[in-house]
Chain A
Amino acid sequence: MMPEDLRTKHKGQILAVKDLPTLPGVLHEVAALFENPASSTDQIGKAIAKDQVLSAKVLKMVNSPIYGFPGRIGSIQHALVLLGFNVIRGLIISTSVFDVMNANMKGLWEHSLGCAMASSAVARSIGCPDPELYAVAGLLHDFGKVVAAVQLPESRAAIDNLVRERDLTYRQAELEVLGFGHDRVNMWLSSYWNLPPNLKEGLACHHRPMSASYYPKVAQVVHVGDFLARLFGVGSGGDDQISALDDGVLEALQVTPDRLHAIMGGLEREFAELI
């Protein structure tokens, strides 16, 4: 068992996340605008558009096959109206955090994209009204891994070693080295960034979705999305095993074997286009 004070120290180091160079200041400004009922999408769009690199990245994501809009979305305002603020906020965080990710964890960006596409496919298949939200939850499900790796570089090496030497999953190794997993880090960061509660619970419970209390569906869908991304070997989540499915999660989502086959068939084609 890990001494409590060491775990607290790790938590403090991770939450010094404002030191992360790439988290855009515009996010706070935009969040403040959104809290204010008097602000318009136009204002929010303009605030995001001030950061040109960020807007370009967000538009690139919005036009990616994850969302599958037939036409091109050319403006941030248009994207805001189509996808909603929470999805765009998730995209801003993902594009920022995942810049760091590319440099630090090889394959994690591809794994996250794969999980986003798979989560969206599952959500569409079971008739969820807002598959975009599930896609963003899939996109962000592992950002705790990156932030922990960046803030605690020495533990990162220890985790990688454990994964290799004892054939553990990345999360099992995190539990041993840090005393908590990236799902816990997701929860802290979601609170820190004021993510909406459904996204927050989806990210915090994606490894134990059957214990999610308020929005179990988001957690369950991302849980299955993670599994599918690993099954098709899209990118790498830090180890080369399949992720454990919670007992009964497919049944809870009413994903029958036939439906799973249909989802897999669609995904295999989508993933082939990715490469």
Chain B
Amino acid sequence: MQKIALEVAGPEMVVAKPVTREDGVVLVAAGAVLTPALISRLDAMGVGEVVVEGDALDTGAGGGAEALAGKVEHLEYLFRNFKDNPYMQQVKGVVRDYFAQKCALAAAVQSRRDGDT
């Protein structure tokens, strides 16, 4: 299960959590399969993110991996004096996940744009 930006959502992806409007009204139920028409309609309604089944975005490889490596190296440097601190290591993991998702998203957006042109 992954939360992804609508920009990189594609046909065939399966919605894992109901997509709701801000006031709580369900727009798309869990289990629905995305179609181009549905995606553009969600976009028109201002939905920014959807949660989909599986690993729709590859967080470990592809174009995002290189960008992520740079981020992780910088993180290791910032946290260099906290190697023996379990809490700081745990927080570092959460921060790393954030950058992993960001980099994977950026790479997916990029490859989609390349595909369009």
Contact = CB atoms under 8 A, between A and B. Distances in A.
Interface residues of B, number: 16
B98 A242 contact: no
A241 B94 contact: no
A25 interface: no
B97 A257 contact: yes
Interface in B85-115: 85, 87-88, 91, 94-95, 97-98, 101-102
Given A244-B85, A244-B88, A260 B98 contact: yes
A241 B98 contact: no
B87 A231 contact: no
Contact of A241 (B80, B85, B95, B102): B80
Contacts, number: 38
Contact of B94 (A167, A247, A260): A260
19 contacts: A167-B81, A230-B78, A240-B77, A241-B78, A241-B81, A242-B79, A242-B82, A244-B82, A244-B85, A244-B88, A245-B88, A245-B91, A260-B94, A260-B98, A261-B97, A261-B98, A261-B101, A264-B95, A265-B102
Interface of A: 167, 169, 230-231, 240-242, 244-245, 247-248, 250, 257, 260-261, 264-265
Interface of B: 77-82, 85, 87-88, 91, 94-95, 97-98, 101-102
